A and B are shown apart, each in its own frame.
Chain A
Amino acid sequence: MGNKQSLNSRSHNKCSCNGDDLELILGKYNNDPKRLMDVLIHIQTQCGCISDLAVKDIAEAFNMSKVDVVQTISFYHFLSQEPRGEYTVYLNDSAVAKMKGRDKIAQVFEKVAGTKFGSVSKDGKIGLFNTSCIGMNDQEPSAIINRRVFTNLTEVDVERIVKSMKEGLDVNDIKGRDPVPNILLKGPILKNEGNITDALKKAISISPDEVIEEVKQSKLRGRGGAGFPTALKWRTCRDTKSEKRYIFCNADEGEPGTFKDRVILTERPRLLFTGMTIAGYAVGSDEGILYLRFEYKFMEQYLENILSKMRKDGSLGKNILGKKGFNFDIRIQFGGGAYVCGEESALLESAEGKRGEPRDKPPYPVVKGYLQHPTVVNNVETLCCVARIIQKGVKWYCSVGTKDSTGSKLLSISGDCKRPGVYEIACGTTINDVNKMVGAEDVQAVQVGGPSGVCVAPIDFDHKLAYEDLATGGSIIIIGNKRDLLKDIVLNFTEFFLEESCGSCVPCRAMTNQYKKKLEKIIRGNGVAKDLEQMLSWEKVMKANRCGLGQTAANPITCSIRNFRELYESKLKTATDFVSEFDLEAAVQEYCKTANRIPNLGGDHE
Chain B
Amino acid sequence: MSKAIVATTSLAGCFGCHMSLLDIDEKILDLIELVEFNKSPIDDIKTFTKECDIGIIEGGCCNSENVHILKEFRKNCKTLVVMGECAIMGGLPALRNNVVSISECLEEAYLNCVSVQANDEKIIPNDDELPLILDRVYPCHEIVKIDYFLPGCAPRADLIWNALVALITGNEMDLPYEVIKFD
Contacts and interface: CB of A to CB of B under 8 A. Distances in A.
Nearest to A586: B135
B133 A588 contact: yes
A586 B126 CA distance: 18
B75 to A, nearest CB: 11
Contacts of B128: 597, 600
Interface string A584-604: 101111111111110111011
A594 B64 contact: no
A597 B102 CA distance: 14
Interface residues of B, number: 23
Nearest to B89: A510
Given A584-B67, A599-B132, A604-B71, A594 B144 contact: no
Given A588-B134, A604-B67, A595 B142 contact: no
Contact of A591 (B67, B71, B132): B132
Contacts of B64: 584, 588, 601, 604
B134 A595 contact: no
Q: Which of B67, B71, B132 has the most CB of A within 10 A?
A: B132
Contacts of B134: 584, 587-588, 591
A601 B136 CA distance: 17
Contacts of A601: 64, 132
Nearest to B65: A604
B144 A595 contact: no
A96 B135 CA distance: 36
Interface in A551-606: 577-578, 580-582, 584, 586-597, 599-601, 603-604
A595 B125 contact: yes
B145 A591 contact: no
A594 B134 CA distance: 12
Interface of B is mostly: mixed
A592 B132 CA distance: 7
Contacts of B142: 580-582
Nearest to B125: A595
Contacts of A596: 124, 126
Interface in B119-149: 124-126, 128, 132-136, 138, 142-145
Nearest to A584: B67
B106 interface: yes
A588 B126 CA distance: 13
Contacts of A577: 145
B126 A597 contact: yes
Q: Which of A578, A584, A595, A597: most chain B Cβ within 10 A?
A: A595
B126 A587 contact: no
A603 B125 CA distance: 23
Nearest to A576: B145
> What's the dominant secondary structure at chain A's contact region?
helix
A589 B144 contact: no
A580 B143 contact: yes
Contact of B135 (A590, A600, A603): A590
B183 to A, nearest CB: 14
A597 B126 CA distance: 6
B102 A591 contact: yes
B143 A595 contact: no
Interface string B74-101: 0000000000000000000000000001
A593 B126 contact: no
A535 to B, nearest CB: 15
Contacts of A581: 142
B103 interface: yes
A587 B65 CA distance: 13
A594 B106 contact: yes
Contacts of A592: 132
Interface in B32-59: none
Interface of B: 64, 67-68, 71, 101-103, 106-107, 124-126, 128, 132-136, 138, 142-145
Given A578-B144, A582-B138, A594-B106, 9 more contacts: A577-B145, A584-B134, A588-B135, A591-B106, A592-B132, A594-B124, A597-B128, A600-B132, A601-B132
6 contacts: A578-B144, A589-B135, A590-B101, A595-B106, A600-B128, A604-B64
The 10 A-B residue pairs with the shortest CB-CB distance, nearest first, are A578-B145, A588-B132, A594-B103, A595-B126, A591-B133, A595-B124, A587-B134, A597-B126, A582-B143, A604-B68
